[in-house]
Amino acid sequence: MSMNQNNEIQDYLAGLNPGQKEAVLHTEGPLLIFAGAGAGKTKTVTHRIMHLIKSGVEPRNILAITFTNKAAKEMRDRVLTALEKERGLTGTSFQEKPFVSTFHSLGVHILKENSREIGLTRHFSIFDKSDSLRTVKDIVRDMGLDPKQHEPGKILNIISREKGNLKNAADFAESIQGENNTAQHSLISRVWTEYERKLKEEKSLDFDDLLLKTYKLLKNSKEILEKYQNIWKYIHIDEYQDTNKVQYMTVKLLAEKHQNLCVVGDIDQNIYSWRGADIKNILNFEKDYPRAKVVLLEENYRSTQNILAAANSIIKINTNRVEKNLFTKNAEGEKLSLYAGYNENEEAHYIANKAKELIGKGVSAKEIAVLYRANFQSRILEDAFLTKSVPYQVLGTKFFERKEVKDVISFVRAGLNPDSMTDIKRIINVPVRGIGKVTIIKIFAGQKEELPSGTKIKVNQFFDLLKKIGELALTTKPSEVIKFIIKESGIEKELRDGSDEDKERLENMRELATLAIKYDHLPVGEGIEKLIEEAALATDQDSLEKNEEAVKLLTVHASKGLEFDYVFITGLEEDLFPHQRMNTTKNKEDNEEERRLFYVALTRARKKVFLTYANTRTIFGSTQSNTPSQFIGDVPEDLIEQDQTFEYREKIIYLEL
C-alpha cells in the first residue's frame, strides 16, 4: 500500500471511535459486533464496506443484509454516497455495487435467478399477508368450518412459524404422527397442504417461502450455492439477534466457504421471539465460528446521559445477556417525566396536550413519538389528538395496502403471471363489468366456452387487456404501464367524476405512477419487477417515508430502528407493559423479553422521555384498576420527576328527566 493510500485510509477512519475502528479494520474471518442502541452500527458497517473496497475487494463481492426496507435503503444510500466521493480512487472499479437488501429481497433475487429450478417462471407472484389470510380463510370455509371458530390468522401464524423452522407442509404432516396428532394439528396440516396446492397452482410464493425455498435451493444444489458463495465473499448481517432458524441456516451456507462473516447485533434488543427470532444464534456465534473476533460498541451518540442511565438500570436486571454499559458524551439532559392518569382518557389527553405544548415551543411534530405496547391503545390516543387538533400519523397505514393501489398492482401481476387466480379474482370486476360469481367459478373451472355470448365477450375483453398489460410491462417504462392500466381498464373514467372519496382513490393510483418513475431508469422488465417486489415486501415503517409533519403513533415493536427527539411510553401498567397474554403463564424468557422491549422504547429518545400510565383502564368493556408497571420502579428515583401540571376530568352531562 502506498503512503498516499495509507494517508487516505487514516483520514477516512479519523471519525471512528476505537471500537468502530477495530471492527472496520478486521476484514478477514468471522466478526461479531455487539452494538448498543445508538452506538453508530450503520456508520460502522458502511465504513467497513468502504474499507473493504479501498483494500481492493470488488464491490460486487460484498453482501449486506438488514431486516427492514428502511434500514436497507439507509445503508445502501450511505454506501453509494461514499462510493461517489471515492470515485477518484485508483485501481477500484465502481461499475458493480455491493448488494444491500433485506432477507426477503435477497430471497426474491436468488429465486428469480433460479426460478426454473423451483418450477416457477421469473414472474412468480408474491402473496402478501392479506393474500395469504384471504386464501386460508377460503380454505377453512371450503372445509365447511367457521373461520370465527378456526381463526385463519392463528393458523397462518403457526404455518409461518413452522416454515421459519425449515418445515414445509409434508414435513409438518410427518412430525405430527402418533401422539402429536391432535385435532388442531390435523386441521392445520390439512389447511397447509391445500394452501401449498393453491400457491403452486397460481405459480406464487408467500413471504415465508421467499426464505424457506431460498434455503432449500442453496442446500440442495451445490452448484448454485457455490455460485453465490463465489459472488458474495464478504457478508454483513445486521440485527443478527433477530434471525430465525431459516435465516441463520441460509447465512451459514453462504458464509461457509470464505468465513468472512460480519454480524452486528444487540442481545438487549432481541424482541421478536414470538415470530421465531432465536437469541441463541448470536449467543452461539463464537461456537459456530471459533476464530471469531468480538468487538463491543458501547458509546451512544443518540441519547442524553439521563436516558441512558435509565436504560442501563433497566436492562442490567436481565441475566441472559452480554454485559455492556452504554455511555455518552452528550449532555446530562432532562429527567424522565412520569404522569399517572385517572383513566386512559386522562392519560391520552395529557399526551396530546404535552405534544401540543412541545410543538408550540418550536419542536417539529415528526420528532415526537407516542409508543404503546398493544394496538388497541391507539384509538383513545387518536381521539385525544383529534380533540386537541394535533397532527398525527398512525404507523402501519401502508400506501400499498390501499384497495385501489392493490387493484392496480394486481393488474400488473396478473398480466405477467396469468396463473395468478388470486389477482384475477380481485380485479375481474374492477371497474364493474357485470361478471358475476357463477361466471368467475366457471372461468376458474376452465369452462369459459360454456358462458353466454354476451358474458363471453366481456370476459375475453378482460383477458385481452391482461395480455396487453403483460406485453407492455416487458417493453415499457413502469410509470407508463401504471398510466396505461388506470386509463385502459376504465378505472379513471369510473372514478374521475365520482365522489370526493372516488377522486382520492384516483389520486392514490396516480401517486403509484409517480412512485414508479424511480424504476424507469432500469432495463425494461426489471423496473416493473422491482415495483411489484416493493409493493409485496412493504413494511409498517415504509409508511414513514413521506415523513409527514405529524406526531407518530406506533407500537414499541414497530419503533425498533427509529429515533425521535421526544418519546412518550404509554400504558405502563402491570399486564399491559409488561404484557400478559390471556390464558398464559409468563416464564423467565418472556419477562426478559418484555424488559428488552422497554429498553428499546427508552433508547428511541434523543432528548426527553415521558412515562405514562392510567390508574383505571377499560379493556373489552370491563373497567379494571391497575398497578403501575414494575419498570417504573426499576428506574432510579433521581432520574424521574412527577408531572402534576396537567388536570383533566371527563365532563359529566346530567340529563333532566
Q: Which pLDDT score, from 0 to 100, does residue 11 have?
A: 65
φ, ψ of residue 571 in degrees (nearest 5): 60, 35
**Across-strand partners of 616?**
343, 625
Does residue 355 contact residue 551 with C-beta atoms inside 8 Å?
yes
- Tell how far CA 605 is from the center of its chain: 21
Q: DSSP 3-state assignment of 20? A: helix
Active site residue 259: no
Question: In the chain, what percentage of residues exceed pLDDT 90?
Answer: 68
CA dist., res. 282 & res. 320, Å (int): 12
φ, ψ of residue 623 in degrees (nearest 5): -85, 130
**CA torsion sign, 168 to 134 to 66 to 316?**
negative
Note the pLDDT tens digit of each residue in 20-59.
999 999 999 999 999 999 999 999 999 999 999 989 999 9
Note the pLDDT tens digit of each residue in 556-567.
999 998 999 999
Catalytic residue, from 238, 423, 542, 594: name it: 238
Look up the pTM and report it. 0.87
**Across-strand partners of 32?**
263, 294
**CA torsion sign, 404 to 407 to 409 to 411?**
negative
Q: Which pLDDT score, from 0 to 100, does residue 89 have?
A: 47
Does residue 351 contact residue 390 with C-beta atoms inside 8 Å?
no
What are 590's three cell numbers? 418472556
CA dist., res. 20 & res. 11, Å (int): 14
Q: Which pLDDT score, from 0 to 100, does residue 651 have?
A: 45
For residue 557, what is the enclosing H or E element? helix 556-559
What are 608's three cell numbers? 426527553
The neighbour count for residue 136, using CB atoms within 10 Å, is 24
Active site residue 239: yes
219 has a pLDDT exceeding 60: yes
For residue 280, what is the enclosing H or E element? helix 280-283
Q: DSSP 3-state assignment of 236? A: strand
Catalytic residue, from 27, 42, 92, 259: name it: 42
Does residue 626 contact residue 613 with C-beta atoms inside 8 Å?
yes
Catalytic residue, from 41, 76, 78, 373: name it: 41
Q: DSSP 3-state assignment of 40? A: coil
Q: DSSP 3-state assignment of 234? A: strand
Note the pLDDT tens digit of each residue in 269-302.
999 988 889 999 999 999 999 999 999 999 999 9
CA dist., res. 636 & res. 307, Å (int): 11
**Across-strand partners of 296?**
34
626 has a pLDDT exceeding 80: yes
Burial class of residue 71 in the structure, from the number of CB atoms within 10 Å of its CB (0-12 exposed, 13-18 middle, 19+ buried): buried
Q: What is the pLDDT confidence band of residue 364, given thresholds at 50, 70 and 90?
A: very high
The least confident of 51-60, 94-103, 113-122 is: 94-103
Q: What is the pLDDT confidence band of residue 583, given thresholds at 50, 70 and 90?
A: very low
Active site residue 42: yes
DSSP 293-325: EEEEE-B-SSS-HHHHHHHHHHHTT-SSS----
**Across-strand partners of 613?**
340
CA dist., res. 498 & res. 504, Å (int): 10
Question: 486-514 as b/e, with b when 16 or more CB fall inside 10 Å?
Answer: beebebbeebeeeeeeeeebbeebeebbe
More confident residue, 316 or 442: 316
More confident residue, 192 or 446: 192
Catalytic residue, from 162, 239, 242, 533: name it: 239
For residue 435, what is the enclosing H or E element? none
Does residue 227 contact residue 61 with C-beta atoms inside 8 Å?
no
Catalytic residue, from 604, 606, 607, 617: name it: 604
- Which whole number is the average pLDDT over 409-430? 92
The least confident of 135-149, 150-164, 427-441, 455-469 is: 427-441
Q: Which pLDDT score, from 0 to 100, does residue 618 have?
A: 84
What are 122's three cell numbers? 421469473
Strands 31-35 and 62-66 come out as unpaired
CA dist., res. 551 & res. 390, Å (int): 8
Catalytic residue, from 269, 304, 328, 439: name it: 269
Does residue 627 contact residue 573 with C-beta atoms inside 8 Å?
yes
Active site residue 595: no
Q: Which pLDDT score, from 0 to 100, does residue 505 have?
A: 86
